[in-house]
């Protein structure tokens, strides 16, 4: 009876959610919720042509995925969780850089840095930056198996679904490379530049269009810190096929060197 009751409540909540979301879609970043703009710090996330996302890591630099490079010339905008907001802030790119060890064949070091033409005025724009998980922070176990992380984006709400103009988020636990490399999972193809996150049963994941966007953990001051960049996966939210992210601590040295003034 209790279970039946909670199921009823759950489906009512689903009905409310889908009637609020657009075009009758009920899928999102898979298994997630709409981001509450008042409650969640998301002003470091930018959209790249609606097809990818990125994170502002300093006034002059955006970190995203190398495999998004074909759309680096499209509009880069930030400032709202709503992609259709009329007042989105446009950022202009001076140059893009791909991680020297990036391999498009196996998605190793799937990192790109976008250098902006003008440094962002954080105060005037309301935009902000996000800190990175350094190798030192990683050593403390912050990105070890089972640690909770959050992925955010405007990507599809299910495999082969459609994208959403309202940013969504979902919490997923980090999965060790050892577990992600099991024969029943990615079978040895996950290397030191990658980080897996998700549940054995699937259900919650990043998906198409979330690429380049952030996977964050909670820092010691309670603020989000960037642990991963959405990279790839076998489908979305499939059992044992966790989402794969570029491991920020593995790209840290290159990022730090490139963005040093
Ligand atoms: C993509 O195609 C994509 N489930 C991003 C993330 C994942 C799968 C696909 C992870 O952009």
- Going from the Cα of 31 to the center of ligand 1, the distance in angstroms, rounded, reads 14
- Going from the Cα of 243 to the center of ligand 1, the distance in angstroms, rounded, reads 7
pTM for the structure as a whole: 0.89
Ligand 1 pocket, 243 CB below 6 A? yes
Rounded mean pLDDT, 160-172: 94
pLDDT single digits (tens) 101-155 = 999 999 999 999 999 999 999 999 999 999 999 999 999 999 999 999 999 999 9
| Pick from 11-25, 109-123, 243-257: least confident | 11-25
Q: Tell me the C-alpha distance between 160 and 255, whole Å.
A: 32
- pLDDT at residue 164 in the model: 87
Residues facing residue 53 across a β-bridge: 47
- pLDDT at residue 39 in the model: 86
Domain ranges for the chain, please list them.
43-129+251-259, 132-249
pLDDT score of 227 more than 70 = yes
Residues facing residue 172 across a β-bridge: 149
- pLDDT at residue 10 in the model: 29
pLDDT single digits (tens) 36-76 = 998 888 999 999 998 999 999 999 999 999 999 999 999 99
Rounded mean pLDDT, 169-175: 98
| Structure tokens, 175 | 């999965």
- Going from the Cα of 159 to the center of ligand 1, the distance in angstroms, rounded, reads 9
- 30, 32, 60, 63: which is closest to 48 by C-alpha? 63
Active-site residue list: 67, 110, 211
Q: Is the domain covering 43-129+251-259 a CATH 2.40.10.10 domain?
A: yes
Cβ contacts of residue 90 below 8 Å, gap of 6+?
A: 75, 76, 77
- pLDDT at residue 231 in the model: 98
Sheet holding 93-98, edge to edge: 89-91, 76-78, 45-48, 52-58, 61-64, 112-116, 93-98
Q: Which numbered atom of ligand 1 lies nearest the CA of 52?
A: 11
Q: Which numbered atom of ligand 1 lies nearest the CA of 244?
A: 10
Rounded mean pLDDT, 237-254: 98
Could you give phi then psi for residue 148, rounded to 5 degrees?
A: -80, 140
Domain at 132-249: CATH architecture: Beta Barrel (2.40)
What is residue 141's three-state secondary structure?
coil
Give yes or no on whether 43-129+251-259 and 132-249 have one common fold. Answer: yes
Ligand 1 pocket, 31 CB below 6 A? no
Ligand 1 pocket, 129 CB below 6 A? no
- pLDDT at residue 14 in the model: 33
Tokens 């898979």 appear where? 30
Rounded mean pLDDT, 192-210: 98
């Amino acid at each position: 009876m209790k279970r039946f009751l909670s199921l009823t409540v759950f489906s009512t909540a689903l009905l409310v959610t889908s009637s609020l979301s657009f075009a009758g879609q009920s899928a999102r970043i898979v298994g997630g919720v709409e981001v509450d703009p008042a409650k969640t710090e998301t002003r470091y996330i930018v959209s790249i042509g609606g097809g990818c996302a990125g994170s502002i890591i300093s006034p002059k630099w955006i970190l995203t995925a190398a495999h998004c490079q074909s759309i680096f010339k499209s509009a880069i905008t930030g400032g709202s969780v709503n992609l259709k907001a009329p007042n989105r802030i446009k950022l202009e790119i001076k140059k893009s850089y791909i991680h020297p060890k990036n391999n498009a064949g196996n998605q190793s070091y799937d990192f790109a840095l976008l250098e902006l033409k003008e440094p962002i005025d954080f105060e005037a724009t309301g935009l902000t930056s996000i800190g990175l998980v350094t190798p030192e922070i990683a050593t403390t176990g912050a990105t070890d198996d089972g640690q909770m992380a959050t992925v955010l984006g405007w990507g599809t709400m299910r495999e082969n679904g459609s994208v959403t103009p309202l940013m969504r988020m979902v919490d997923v636990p980090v999965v060790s490379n050892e577990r992600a490399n099991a024969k029943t999972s990615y079978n040895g193809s996950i290397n030191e530049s990658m980080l897996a996150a998700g549940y054995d049963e699937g259900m919650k994941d990043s998906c198409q269009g979330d690429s380049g966007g952030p996977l964050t953990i909670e820092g010691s001051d309670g603020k989000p810190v960037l642990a991963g960049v959405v990279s790839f996966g076998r489908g979305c939210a499939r059992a044992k096929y966790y989402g794969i992210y570029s491991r920020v601590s593995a790209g840290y040295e290159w990022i730090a060197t490139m963005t040093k003034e």
